[in-house]
Each structure stands twice: as C-alpha cells, then as structure tokens.
Amino acid sequence: MLISTTYTHTWRTGAAATFAAYPRWGRWGVVAVPVVVLLLAFPMGSLQMGLWSVFFVLFMVFVHGRHVRALIGQGAIDVVLDDEGFTRERPGVSTASIRWTATLGVRRQFGLLVIRTAPRSVASVPETAFNAEQLARLDEFIRMRNSPTVTAG
C-alpha cells in the first residue's frame, strides 16, 4: 500500500481533527458539561453561576477556535502512507515519520483518517484528500490492521 497525497486543513476538518484528539469518553464532556451547567444554572436562579457558565462556554469556543486556526495556518501538508508506516511533511519546515507498529490505532471518523500516535495525540488527514481508489485501499488496510490474528500455540 503506497498512498501519497497533499492536503490543507479547512475550518471543518480542523474542528474535526481537534475533536478527534479527545478520548472517546472525553468527547461527551466537551459538549455536554457546558450545556448541562448552563441548563442547571438558570432554573436554580443563580445568576453568578449562569454568568460563569456562559463565560466558560465562550472560553472553550475561543480556545478551540485558536487551535483550529493554528491547524489551518500550517498550510499544505504532504502525507505518504506505505506498508512500513506514514510520513507527514510540511515542505520546508518539518518531517515526521512513524511506523505502524508504534501507532495506537487507525480509523476513519468525522470525515478524517485518524491515526492515534499517543494517548492524546492524533495525526489526521481529511478524506477529501484521497480519491475513491485510495479510500478503498485505506479501508482494506484498516480492516486488515484491526482484524484479530490467530496464533498457534
């Protein structure tokens, strides 16, 4: 499997990449906690709690927006996926290569190919960067990678 592509993050893919970096159990908290606190503050009549929860929601949107903006500001990124691992390069800036055996998982979600490289670190590539043939090869690779292996003992 050798797939080479170039992509640039958009606001949509940047937001999806930011959200994908959270562990599965943490994704619910990112969305639910501010909403629940806001819904509980106003019926209880606590104006101070309501104001703090509104501030908290706005602060979270601001922080995530800055992170997404930083992803967009990276510009064009070249990605090469092969049988050994994957290489992510920002031309003229940096290159990172990781072997597949060192990754924690590979999956497609939120319109991205998400490669977990550490517990809270992901490398993501928008699905729009791949053509139909490349996506089919990626699906086959993910299926083969995630299938259980049988060992004779």
Domain match, 46 and 84 both: no
Residue 153 in this model has a pLDDT that exceeds 60: no
pLDDT in tens, 20-58: 777 777 777 777 777 777 777 767 667 777 777 778 778
Q: Say which residue the tokens 């990605």 belong to.
A: 79
Chain centroid, CA 76 distance in Å: 17
Range of the domain at 34: 11-73
Q: 115: exposed, middle or buried (C-beta count within 10 Å: 0-12, 13-18, 19+)?
A: buried
| Within a domain: 4 | no
Identify the domain boundary among 42, 57, 73. 73
Q: pTM to 2 decimals?
A: 0.67
From CA 13, how far away is CA 104, in angstroms rounded?
21
